[in-house]
Amino acid sequence: MRAERTAVAKEHRSQGQEQAEIIRATIDAKITVMLAEAQKDAFTVRGEGDAEAAKIYANTYTKDAEFYRFYRSLEAYEKSFNSKSDIMVVKPDSDFFNYLKDGTKAKK
């Protein structure tokens, strides 16, 4: 009788483990699909954002090209002089410093 109950218990355990494996595999598959869809959506949204940013830059540039050049040079100055440990060797009369040399319009 004890052996019979032990056999039944083992059978129930093995059925439970089988069902657990099926559930884990189903959930893993669902997670994989969800992550792939989320990544696809993220790439789509990022692409749309990049396209919108490019459109805004293009519109800004066409409205006032000189201001856009000035703004981009300020960004370049900020990135170039951001770290105190970096060294930059540039001629003082180079085009990089056009807006620093003269507060009015820079050379084109």
Q: pLDDT by residue (tens digit) across 12-46? A: 999 999 999 999 999 999 999 999 999 999 999 99
Domain membership of residue 80 (yes or no) is: no
The pLDDT confidence band at residue 105, using thresholds 50, 70 and 90, is low
Sign, CA torsion 77/78/79/84: positive
Domain membership of residue 51 (yes or no) is: yes
Sign, CA torsion 50/52/58/60: negative
Q: Write out the residue range of the structural domain in which residue 59 sits.
A: 2-63
Please state the domain count of the chain.
Answer: 1
Domain membership of residue 35 (yes or no) is: yes
At residue 18's C-alpha, the angle toward residues 16 and 24, to 5°, is: 100
Domain membership of residue 30 (yes or no) is: yes
Domain membership of residue 11 (yes or no) is: yes
Instruction: Kindly report the pTM of this predicted structure.
Output: 0.50
